[in-house]
Each structure stands twice: as C-alpha cells, then as structure tokens.
Amino acid sequence: MRVEIREINPENKRELKKFVMLEWKIYKNDPNWVPPLIDEDIKRLSPKHNPFFEHSKVKLFMAFKDGKPVGRIDAHIDYNFNEFHDEDAGFFGFFESINDKEIAHALFDKAVNWLKEKGMKVIYGPMNFTTNDDECGLLIDGFNSPPVFGMTYNPPYYIDLIESYGFEKAKDLVAYLITIDEEYKKFIAHLERRLKPLAEKAQEWGFTIRNVNMKDLNNEVKRIFNIYNSAWEANWGFVPFTEKEIEHLAQGLKQIVIPELAKIVEYNGDPAAFGLLIPDINQVLKKMNGRLFPFGFIKFLTGLKKIDGLRLLALGIKKGYRRKGADSLLYYHMMKDAIAMNRFRYCEVSWLLEDNYLIIRATKFMGGKQYKTYRVYQKSLID
C-alpha cells in the first residue's frame, strides 16, 4: 500500500496526541530514549499555549502505511528569524520515521513543497522550533547514552534518511561532558586557585554576582532577556526572544531551577552576564513514561532530590563586558557552588556551536571533553 500523508490540525488535541505518541512506536526498544511529557508536548505544538505561533506559520504532517502511523514532520516559517537574518528560510522539525526512505522522503516532500509555496528559498532542520527551543540538530555521534534534559535523541539511521534526500551540513552543534569524580575535584581545587584572583579583581573593578531571585522572577526575566539578546545575537541561527517567549520559558523552568546555580553578574546595577546550570531531570522523566498524572507528579517531586547530573544550559556575557573579568567571576562562582553541593557526578555543557572557539576553549579549560555531536542540515529550495 502506498504511503499516505495527512495534515494534522494543531487546534485538535486528539490529533496532536497521535502526533506526539508516535515516538513510543519509534523508540519502543531503545534503552536510551527519554519519553517526553505527553501533555507538555501537546501544549508546545498548540497555538493556544505556545507564543512561538504568534510570529510563525506551522504545518504538521503524519505519514501512514496500511492505515498505521509510521512517520511525522513539521514545516514552519519563523518570520522573526527571517526578518533578523534578511532571509527567506523555512524549517523542518519534530521529524520521526520508521527506517524506510519512501516514508521519510514523502514527509520531506510535503514539508518542502509547502515551504516553496510560501516563497521560501532554503530549508534548515531539524529544529523544534528554533535555536531558542534548545532541541536543535540531529544526533550524529554519541548514541551510547541518554540525552540530558532539552537535548535531542534519534536512531542512527535518521542520518541516512535525511542525507539521502539531499540535505547537507549547515552547522554542527557539540556537547561536552564534565565528569565530577574525586580526580576532578582535585583538578578543580587547583583551578580555583587560578580563577579566584581573577574573580576578586573583577569585583574590585565594580562587578558583582548574585543568585537569581526567584521571588522577583518577572523582573529577573527582564534582566536575563536583556543579557541574552545582546550576548547571543552574533551566533549562527540566533533569533531574538520575544518577551512572551522568554516569560514562557522561565515559567517552564522555575520548578527545576536551583537558585544557587542561576547567577547574574551586574556592573553598577546593569545586567552584564548570566549563567544557568539546571538539574538533568531526564533522569526522572525516563521513569515516568510521559505521564505526570495520576502518580507521575509524586515520582517527579521525589526524584528531583536524587538527580546527580547537571546541564550548563546558558552562559552569556553582554557586549561591552567581555574579557573584563565578568567571565572569570561567573565561572568561579558557578563551579564552586555546584561542587560544594556534593551531589552531582556529571555536568553536560551544551549545546555549543562547533566554531564558537572562545566558549569551547573555556569548556576545555574547565575539564570538559566533547562526547556528542548534533547536525543542522540545509537544502536549497530554488529549482
């Protein structure tokens, strides 16, 4: 029977649930897969709940064979991205497929044809939905361990499904792993002696560092928003957060943020730098099979205290404050406070652009070793 591609209505919760639940079929026997929270993924794909839809067009498609779901994809246009980069770009994301090129290529055809109809000249992906959403790129090496929270995961055969359609590399994103064992703690003690004078010098120059104030989250979000859009704007794939998007992200993270591991550096009251380490809640999500209720919420709350992994989710320094000590102050205090908790055994630094040599050098300096690579692909839509 031929492959049938059907459009999924993002306003219809039942259809969205079918779209989300396909992952359970694809990853049924994969020990490294971490099931997403079903209700959260449905909200993410719904215009009613995700502010991304306010400046974007999104199409969802599912593939069926013999009446059974076998693949899915989204095609989207982010008009904020295109305005910022002066580009006519479309994207694909949320791609899943059984190991069948006919099915995968039929999905790509649907996404590509829709984007062409809308006048787009290039397609990038996978992106779920933008670089701000974190879930970017296809895992191309490092398949022997589960992803940390917010990072993607896929079977190795996806590489062939995508590249056989004519997609080529646009950019690689890399992840570094820091193993926090006794040897590392000795290394850190030595590193602290080197960083401490630099951090103290930065404070003499007028920099201050503090924990994010969770009781004043609305104003803190505005300060972080100010830092982010300045610190990351020169990065490949960057698109500015809207105020609603960063508030939406903050609300999603506030349940898991450890205030001592969320730092803001200021200079005479002006937000200068920001760093955020979050616990790797995938350790808990892996056991919940996508459901928060009726008992998953209890598992989640009790599991939070047992998490022994971290992810460095964000670290940015505003233009004008770089190489003036704010970086040393941030590295020193985040490292010191994380180690002092004496509960974490690893930290993933991710994701980093492959050519962001400054932050890669800093990550290696802190003892990180590259262990996963993710690829964003591109394909011209000009015939």
- Over the stretch 132-147, which tens digit does the pLDDT of each residue have? 877 899 999 999 999 9
4-176 with 181-344: one CATH topology?
A: yes
Percent of the chain past pLDDT 90, that is, above it, reads 69
Q: Where are the beta strands (DSSP E) in the chain?
A: 4-8, 56-65, 68-78, 89-97, 122-125, 138-141, 168-179, 207-211, 262-267, 270-279, 309-317, 346-353, 369-380
Q: Is residue 295 scored above 60 in pLDDT?
A: no
Alpha-carbon distances, residue 125 vs 14, 96, 164, 252 (angstroms): 26, 13, 15, 24
Q: Domains of the chain: which residue ranges?
A: 4-176, 181-344
Q: Is residue 298 scored above 70 in pLDDT?
A: no
Residue 206 CA, chain-centre distance (Å), reads 33
Q: Which has the higher per-residue pLDDT, 292 or 332?
A: 332
Domain 4-176 = CATH 3.20.20.190: no
Q: Is residue 72 scored above 60 in pLDDT?
A: yes
Q: Is residue 1 scored above 70 in pLDDT?
A: no
Under 8 Å between Cβ of 339 and 191: no
Q: What is the predicted pLDDT for the residue at 293?
A: 67
Q: Which two tokens stand for residue 331?
A: 């590295």
pLDDT band at 3 (very low <50, low <70, confident <90, very high): confident
Q: What is the predicted pLDDT for the residue at 255?
A: 83
Please confirm whether the linkage preceding 10 is cis (ω < 30° from 0): no
Tell me the mean pLDDT in the region 94-105: 98
Q: If you search the block for the tokens 């993002």, which residue do you land on?
A: 10
Please confirm whether the linkage preceding 274 is cis (ω < 30° from 0): no
Q: What is the predicted pLDDT for the residue at 272?
A: 94
* Domain 181-344 fold: Aminopeptidase (3.40.630)
Under 8 Å between Cβ of 167 and 118: no
Among 100-104, 122-126, 155-159, 199-203, whose mean pLDDT is lowest? Answer: 199-203
Tell me the mean pLDDT in the region 172-196: 91
Tell me the mean pLDDT in the region 253-261: 89
